[in-house]
Amino acid sequence: MMNKMNKKVFHIGDVLKYIPLVLAAIVVVLPLLVVFIG
């Protein structure tokens, strides 16, 4: 039952796991945007 409840609940911990991935993606994408725009 606990597992079913946890799947439905939005966890901040899950977001924290993806923050490094998002930051890495931004670091990679921003230079590309600068190159295309510039």
**What digits encode the pLDDT tens for the residues 2-38?**
566 556 666 788 888 899 999 999 999 999 999 999 8
CA distances from 30 to 17, 35, 37 (A): 21, 9, 10
Q: Determine the pLDDT at residue 19.
A: 93
Q: Determine the pLDDT at residue 10.
A: 66
CA distances from 3 to 8, 36, 37 (A): 9, 46, 47
